[in-house]
Amino acid sequence: MKKEEAHKLIDLLPPKATWDDLMHEIYVREAIERGLADSNAGRTKDVQEVRAKYGLPE
C-alpha cells in the first residue's frame, strides 16, 4: 500500500473511527486485492469443482 492510498483510506473513515476500524479496512482491502490478483493470474477454482471436492450439492 502506498502512502497516498493509506491517506485516502483514512479519509474515508468516519470521524470517530478507531485503530481497530482502520486495521479492519486495511485487512479487507488487502484480502480483496489478493483475491483479484489470484483471479487475474488464473489461481481460482470453479464453483462446481469446489462443491464436488467437498461433496456439496450443485
3-state secondary structure 26-50: HHHHHHHHHHHHHHHCCCCCCHHHH
- pTM of the entire structure? 0.71
Residue 24's pLDDT is what?
97
Residue 15's pLDDT is what?
96
pLDDT, tens digit (0-9, with 9 covering 90-100), for 3-57: 999 999 999 999 999 999 999 999 999 999 999 999 999 999 999 999 999 999 8
Question: ∠ at Cα 44 (42, 48), nearest 5°?
Answer: 130
Q: Is the predicted pLDDT of residue 1 greater than 80, yes or no?
A: no
> How many angstroms separate the Cα of 21 from the Cα of each of 12, 13, 27, 41?
11, 8, 10, 30
